[in-house]
Structure formats: structure tokens, C-alpha cells
Amino acid sequence: MTAPTTLLDKVWAAHEIHRRADGASLLWVDRHLVHEGSHHAFAKLAARDATVAEPDLTFAVVDHYAPTRDRDRIADPQIARMIQTLRDNAETHHLQIFDLLDPRQGIVHVIGPEQGLTLPGLLINCGDSHTSTHGAFGAMGFGIGATEVAHVLATQTIWQKKPLAMRISVDGALGPGVTAKDIALHWIARLGTGGAQGHAVEYAGEAIRDLSMEGRMTLCNLSIEGGARMGMIAPDETTFAYLQDRPFAPKGAEWDRAVDDWAMLRTDTDAGFARDIHIDATQIAPTVTWGTSPEQALPVDATIPDPAKLQGSKADAARDALDYMGLVAGRPIDGTPVDQVFLGSCTNGRIEDLRAAAAVLAGRKAKVPGLVSPGSAQVKKQAEEEGLDQVFTEAGLDWVAAGCSMCVGMNGDLVPAGKRCASSTNRNFRGRQGRGARTHLMSPAMVAAAAVTGTITDVRPFLQDRAA
């Protein structure tokens, strides 16, 4: 008899080549995703006169610095150089590249699943913390630093210490207007940004099973904001339906065999977890951040917390956050004016996200300016075929090309200093969207509602007479 094992245990064991005396494991990497920021790792490779060990398993993506306008004539020479450096490295090492004008281009964590590069049971690395997104498929996905990127390029392996297993079960059904983004912000606010530190989080429960793959990707994407090394969800029929016929997914008899194998990737009954958290889905409301950390979040119908009622470092952090954000404790967060909105990112830039925002905006006008950047060129194409782009532009928002855009502020899409942005992104750190920018994280539908009212506002009344 063997002891019951978790999903993490199964996937980790399948990739472990060797375990050192200190407990670190050498793991095989199935997919390595690189982008413009990976140039440091390629430079380390060149300094050793080394080559990429498995070029067929490494994929280059232009996303972080990708301009969302005028791609045929990049105005910023530094951005042009970054993109060209990735092209040069891809050519030198014979890597497939999803280049700026490629119809498959997009944010790395959007196009990996979209192309079927992300599959259940794989180990996926990228020099980006939100690689946790790929765990939505029952894969192990986690971000790595430049030195580790160089090691994977040279060896197709990585040294890691196995994280502890943690389960977050969301029981019951979500209410109207409540999304995967709200689940994530809810648990991070409850447990803190270090609440899952040192753990791999497996999401379970009725509310998780009811999520689409887009929702599952949003949830796993945000795992890193709660301190987790990765997020994972066991693959099921929803997963298989999403992946079938994707360009890089198995075909024919190989598909049938793969699905049989993937169906085994689930936690055994009675398997143990270092932490086991239960959340009542009915208690989750549309949620918004008020501070400068994802844990500084609250239901949209709540009031801004009073630092005097908090303890220790949390009180100090709240005072600093309120000062930076220009907010007053004790006031409702609902009604807080915003200066602009942003829809997009690897967290919420997929077709389902754009549909949700368009459902709110249809027939309505935005009171503030905003930018809509689809997660990929294919999402952009599909949205245009569905007429979503017209909904956004008729509402008064700008419809632009795919890329990380205003999430990271590396490509010219910025929030001016002192301005407040309702954003569907993943981080509200100081200066994340531009020096002095004030960012409020929320779901795409909540962003759309903020655009219509010019304030942070509860989306639920906007959905009463139409499908979300």
C-alpha cells in the first residue's frame, strides 16, 4: 500500500531526476518560455559559449515591452533594441518566436495555454512571477530568476526545493457579479501576502470546479500575490475541452492517451496538506484593493479600514498606503473617483474577461478615459469578430494591440503621477503602472462599471438587466 498523494506530489515525482542531501531536487523542465527581459540569461549563456540544450522546448515571446500602437515603427529606441535582442537570440539558438507581428503573438501566459503549449502534468518555467497561471491546467508553473533561466537554457533542468502542499477549498456557488478575481483578492486579503509562502496552493471545491479555464487561469495567476510558489487545479473535462485541437496539443490517438493520463492527475482521497483552508463562496463579494498591496483589499460595499484599529506592521503599512493612495479611513470605497481605467493583462485579458466588461459597457458611455489591451492577437481577433471592440470604442475607450501594456508600464502605456486607475491587473504596488500612479485592482466587470460611473462602484446593479 502506498500513502495517498497530492496533485503536487504526483507532478513533482514525475519530474524529479535527482535529490540532493539538502533536499533540493533536480527537475526536468517541459516548457521554457522566454521574453524580452530574458536577455540577461542569454548573455550568461554567451559568456560561457554555451547553447540552448533543448531549443524545441524553449519558446520566445514578445510581450513585456510590446508597444500597443504603431508596431511598424517603434518610437522608443530602447524598446526596439530589447525586442531585436530577443529576435537575435531566438535566431542564434533556433527558437520558435511569437514575434510582434505574428498573428499568434500575445502575453506569454495567455498564448501558452491558447496554443496548447501548456498541458496537464507539465513543468513550465518562465522568467516572470505570474508563470503560476499555467497551474490552472494541472501543471507546475513557477517563475524563475535570470540565473535560473540561464541554467534551464543550458540544461533543460532546474534545482528546486519542494514547497509544502496547501489546499484552498471554495465551497458553494459564487453570487452574481462575483468572479475568480474576487476569489483571489478575498483569500489574499484574509491570509495576507505571505499567507501561502513556502507552499504550492491547490484550489478545490464546487466554486472552483464551476470556473471556466479563463477563471481558473486568473485564480492561479494571482497565487503568487498571496506568497505561493505556484497554484494548481486538477484537470477535468473543462480542461480537456479547452485544450482539444489547440495547435501544440496532442492529436488523434495521442490525444486519447493523453486524456487518460491527465485524468489521473488529482489528489488522492485522504492525502494530507500542510494547510487546509475553507472559504464559503457565498460570502465573497465583488472585491477591490484600497492600498498598495494585493492583501489591502475589501468588498466594494465596505469602508476603508482605520489603521488605528490594526496592529503592528499592518497598521504602519495601512497608514503609508492611505497616504500614498490619497484615501481617508472610514469612508466607503464605493464612490471613490477614478481618473482612468485599464482592461487587460495576463490576469484578465482573455476573451471571457472582455465579454464580461463589454456586457457592462454595452449601450453606455465611459465618464473617464481608458485603454483595452487584449491578452493576445487571437483574443483581439475573436473580440473583433464578436463586435466587442465596437462596444469599447463606442463607450469611449481605446482599443489597442496585445501586450503587457499598462500592467507593467514598460511600453509607454502609463498612469500619470497622482492619477487613480481602476485596473484588471495583478499588482497595485507603488509605481507599478507609472511613477506616483494609484492603482485599484478589480475584476474586468468592475473596471467597466468604474468607467461608466467615473468611480469605484459595485457592478452588481449594472448586471441586473443583462447577461454578465
164 pLDDT above the threshold of 50: yes
pLDDT at 344: 97
Would you state the pLDDT for residue 277?
98
Mean pLDDT of 14-24: 97
Count of other CB atoms within 10 angstroms of residue 246: 16
pLDDT band at 137 (very low <50, low <70, confident <90, very high): very high
Average pLDDT value for residue range 72-86: 92
Quick one: pLDDT band at residue 75, thresholds 50, 70, 90? Answer: confident
Q: Does domain 164-235+267-283 have CATH number 3.90.1150.10?
A: no
The 10s digit of each residue's pLDDT in 333-358 is 999 999 999 999 999 999 999 999 99
Q: Select from 3.30.9.40, 3.30.499.10, 3.40.50.2000, 3.30.300.30 the CATH code of 289-463.
A: 3.30.499.10
Beta strand ranges found along 91-215 (DSSP E):
96-98, 123-126, 140-143, 157-161, 164-171, 199-204
Check: CB of residue 114 under 8 Å from CB of residue 120: no
pLDDT-derived band at 468, boundaries 50, 70, 90: very low
Residue 465: predicted pLDDT: 73
273-288 per-position pLDDT tens digit: 999 999 999 999 999 9
What does pLDDT average to over the chain? 96
Contact 376, 111 (CB under 8 A): yes
289-463: same fold as 7-161?
yes
Write the burial class of residue 255 (CB in 10 Å: 0-12 exposed, 13-18 middle, 19+ buried). Answer: middle
**Which pLDDT tens digit goes with each residue over 95-118?**
999 999 999 999 999 999 999 999
The domain 7-161 is classified under which CATH number: 3.40.50.720, 3.30.1280.10, 3.30.499.10, 3.40.50.300? 3.30.499.10
Average pLDDT over residues 12-16: 98
Encode pLDDT of 181-236 as tens digits: 999 999 999 999 999 999 999 999 999 999 999 999 999 999 999 999 999 999 99
Instruction: Give the pLDDT of residue 1.
Output: 61
User: How much is the average pLDDT of 381-388?
Assistant: 98
pLDDT at 2: 85
Cell numbers at residue 396, please? 469611449
For the chain, give every domain's residue range: 7-161, 164-235+267-283, 289-463
Note the pLDDT tens digit of each residue in 166-192. Answer: 999 999 999 999 999 999 999 999 999
Radius of gyration (Cα) for the chain, nearest Å? 21
Residue 452 to residue 171: CA distance in whole angstroms: 32
Quick check: 163 and 264 in contact, CB under 8 A?
A: no
Q: Rounded mean pLDDT of 67-81? A: 91
Give the pLDDT band (50/70/90) at residue 467.
low
% of the chain surpassing 90 pLDDT: 96
Q: Which CA distances in Å does 419 have to 96, 97, 276, 330, 415? A: 40, 36, 40, 21, 6
Cell numbers for 66, please give them.
Answer: 510590446
Q: What share of the chain in percent tops pLDDT 70? A: 99
Query: How does 364-377 read in b/e, with b if 16+ C-beta sit within 10 Å?
Result: bebbbebbbbbbbb
Give the confidence band of 464 by pLDDT, cuts at 50, 70, 90: confident
CA distance 6 to 271: 6
Whether the predicted pLDDT of 410 surpasses 60: yes
What is the pTM for the complete model shown? 0.97
Please say whether the beta carbons of 51 and 386 come within 8 A: no
Whether residue 384 has pLDDT greater than 70 = yes
Mean per-residue pLDDT for 315-328? 97
